[in-house]
Structure 1
Amino acid sequence: MSTIQRGVSLYSFQEEYFLRTMSLEDCIRAAAGIGARGIEIIPEQSIPGYPHLTDEFVDAWFGWMHKYDTTPVATDLFLDTKLYPGRWLTLEEQVASVHRDIDIAVRLGATVIRAIINTPPEVMEAAAPYAEEKGVRLLLEVHAPFHYSHPWIEQHLEVMHRLDTPALGLMPDMGTYVRRFPRVVSERALRDGAKPELVDLIVKTYDDHGDSHALMDIVNYRGGGPVDFGLARQATHYIWSDPKLMLSYMPLIGHIQAKFYEMTDDGVEYSIPYDEIVPLLVEGGFDGYLSSEYEGNRHIQDAYPVDSVEQVRRQHAMFARLLGEA
């Protein structure tokens, strides 16, 4: 039987949290109610007074974990590499920032920290001893349009292999496996005034795995407007790669960002083939969390009610089916 566990990034409920129709406790309750027992939190988004954690917040946090039978799993690290008005942070300042985020994760009981893709490899290397001392893992998010053979990722892999420390690893974002252009994105572009023929061209080029990087020029030649250019640019931010490539990196993979844009009424993700991905994770012996990351809200909020909880519920029903849960 698979040891893969199910969780959710509270980022998935950003629409409701921003509009104050759901509190932080409501988000945790909703996650537990759909069987997503592992909680991933973005401290900057969800903790009043970040980066300062009050005793009252920490007490409430662990109270919710106990009340709803959930587990703190991961925090998300955002590394600001510049200070206003434009000075780059020194290496020492960046490492100090990561140390601060490690301390926050430890205080919240999380054992995994998502290191955002722009975190330099030298920062990961310098922060690794502190992470190992504190018993947490810094996992670099492999986020589209990056992939495992990209020079930036290869620089990180060199550090991970050379240090051979449990403190460093990878967190693949399933947005690197977008087989079909997300329909919620193209439909939003149409509502915003994009030319239907250019939308069709962009979607078809992407779905056929054509040269999406040439789309900006083609849209220009075809007299496209700002919305058309935006959609063409978006096409370069999605990628499709073979999910089987994850098998080679499985010893380094400690957490999965289960990105999704649209769970259909049929219980499948429109763009990302989870029916191929989940069996591969099982085959590779992955034993961490599949953590939902819903990003469809921003593409439908102009025209439809956003129900992030229902979307996440559908994804976890799919996960339960693919994992063979009763």
Structure 2
Amino acid sequence: MIRAEQPAPDIAVGIVTAGVAPVIEVEPGQLWRSFPVPADAEVDALRRGLDAAGGRVSIVGASLDDWVGPTQRRSDDDRLAFLLPQLHAARRVGAAGVRLPIGQAGEPLLRRVVPTLHELDLVLFEEIQGQQTPDSTPTAAAVDTIAGLDDPRVRVLVDISMLMPALPSSYLEQLAGAGLPGDLLARLTDEWRDPATTGVVVDVLRSGAVPPAIHTMYMNLLVRFGRSDAGVLRDILPLVGAFHLKFWDLDDTDGRVSAPIRDLGALLAPTGFAGTLCSEWGGHEWLLDADAADMTRRHLALARQALAEGAAAAA
């Protein structure tokens, strides 16, 4: 997509035609030039392409631009007006739901949008990921809001980047190649789940020891990579309607890829969960030469096996 070798909608349809997966999530800001007010013609063209390939959309990644400029925040009327065209586009493309970051909408907007969700037969998912947890601030308040609404049209989406037992080996290789301090690399390799590791990561950043070329990649340690156990999800499972099975590479040493999925399978098996589980590759940031289709096929195979093993263990 970045190299613009194909139009983005062709890439999306190509996931289906290539046999990678028949059901996909889409990001309208990547697909439709008319976004954030998607033109019917663009939406219909994608749906026709997917229909012809035997595919469909599960969830559309909606967006809320909360600011008009550096200092002017949109009113809730403006925010609703910004979101509604995306909801109608999601329905038009045949999706079952849309997603937003956890807590971004806020209770007043959620209450106003619920009637439209019922009208369009959509679910709005609020996504929790990385170092967020159900009891962290302000995530806990957003989860309480969803529980208080008590409406199946507003659910939680969990990205299992929350549940990383260890950092991806390919990511650690990138950090090592960038010249980070050896004691930090040792800690990231052997003590990722130690809560004290975050303090060390911040101290090294503040010290100026992180090369500017990897600042963005380094911030994954503070935002995108979590260290929770699947058990933290147990109390919110009745509110969860979807999962992103995030992966970064396929090095499954010590079960760093499969273990969180296996634990999730064991957690979900007794619940009758019937939502979506979506493979989501995050390592394209540094695995620049990897084949995305091959990575996803292999991850889907690994995920199916791990989920089945987890479910069997819980039986």
> Where do 1:252-271 residues align within 5 Å?
252-264=239-251, 270=257
| Counterpart pick for 2:106 among 110, 115, 121 | 121
- Normalising by structure 2, we get a TM-score of 0.85
Aligned equivalent of 1:276, options 263, 266, 276 = 263
Say if 2:124 is the partner of 1:138. Answer: yes
**Matched letter for residue 77 of structure 2:** E
1:313 matches 2:297: yes
Residue 98 (str. 1) matches residue 83 (str. 2):
yes
Which residue of structure 2 aligns with residue 4 of structure 1?
none
Q: Cα gap change, 1:32/1:287 in structure 2, threshold over 3 Å: closer, same or farther? A: farther
Q: Which AA in structure 2 matches 1:311?
A: M
Query: Hey, what's the Cα distance between the residues in 2 that align with 1:159 and 1:208?
Result: 30
How much has 1:290 moved relative to structure 2?
A: 1.0
- Look up the match of 1:44: 29
Aligned equivalents of 2:301 and 2:6: distance in 1?
Answer: 22
- The percent identity for this pair of structures is 20
Are residue 148 (structure 1) and residue 153 (structure 2) matched? no
Distance in 2 between residues matched to 1:251 and 1:260, nearest whole Å: 24
Q: Kindly indicate whether the alpha-carbon contact (under 8 Å) linking 1:257 and 1:292 is maintained by their aligned counterparts in 2.
A: yes
Distance 1:127-1:274 versus aligned 2 partners, 3 A rule: same
Larger RCO (CA under 8 A, 6+ residues apart)? 1
Alignment partners' CA distance in 2, 1:120 and 1:33: 36
1:77 aligned to 2:62? yes
Cα displacement (A) at 1:22 = 4.6
- In 1, the alpha carbon distance for the partners of 2:251 and 2:188 equals 22
Amino acid paired to 2:300:
H
Q: Secondary structure in 2 aligned to 1:86?
A: coil
Query: What's 1:194 paired with?
Result: 180
Deviations 1:221-263 (A, max 9, x none): 6x72435876764323222212133333222211111211012
Correspondence 1:248 to 2:235? yes
SS of alignment partner, residue 75 of structure 1: strand
Q: 2:196 aligns with which of 185, 200, 210?
A: 210
Render the CA deviation track for 1:187-232: whole Å, top value 9, x for unaligned: 22233333344322343342445341343225656x7243587676
Which residue does 1:299 correspond to in 2?
Answer: 286
Q: For 1:83, what is the secondary structure of its paired residue?
A: coil
Letter in 2 for 1:114: R
What is the CA–CA distance in structure 1 between the aligned matches of 2:129 and 2:200, rounded to whole Å? 21
CA shift for structure 1 position 176: 0.6
Q: Structure 2 vs 1, CA of residues 96 and 52 (structure 1 numbering), >3 Å: closer, same or farther? A: closer
The question of whether the paired residues in 1 share the 8 Å contact of 2:164 and 2:256 is answered with no
Residue 300 of structure 1 aligns to a residue whose secondary structure is coil
Map of 1:62 onto structure 2: 47
What whole-Å deviation, never above 9, does each CA across 1:256-308 have from its counterpart, x for those lacking one? 11211012388x7648622222332233221122112111011222xxx1211
C-alpha distance in 2 between matches for 1:219 and 1:165: 42
SS at match of 1:255: strand
Corresponding residue for residue 14 of structure 1 = none
CA distance in 1, matches of 2:269, 2:17: 23
Which amino acid in 2 is paired with 1:145? Q
Deviations 1:112-148 (A, max 9, x none): 1111235142222332222222211111101222111
Deviation, 1:87, is 1.1
Match of 1:136, as an amino acid?
Answer: L
Secondary structure at the aligned position of 1:115 is classed as strand
Gaps of 5+ in 2: 310-315
Cα gap change, 1:81 to 1:52, in 2 (>3 Å): closer
Query: Which TM-score applies when normalising by structure 1?
Result: 0.82
Aligned residues: 305
Report the secondary structure of 1:148's partner residue.
coil
Q: Can you list the C-alpha shifts for 1:159-196, whole angstroms capped at 9, x where unaligned? A: 22332212111000111111102222222223333334
Counterpart code for 2:2 = F
> 1:306 aligns to what SS in structure 2?
coil
Distance in 1 separating the partners of 2:216 and 2:35: 33
One-letter amino acid of the structure 1 residue matched with residue 282 of structure 2: E
Moved more, 165-174 or 204-213: 204-213
Q: Which whole-Å CA distance do the structure 2 matches of 1:134 and 1:71 have between them?
A: 17
Residue 21 (structure 1) shift: 3.7
Matched residues in 1 for 2:63 and 2:44: separation? 24
Which structure 1 segments of 5+ residues have no match? 1-16
User: Quick one: which of 18, 35, 41 aligns to 2:2?
Assistant: 18
Q: Which amino acid aligns with 1:200?
A: A
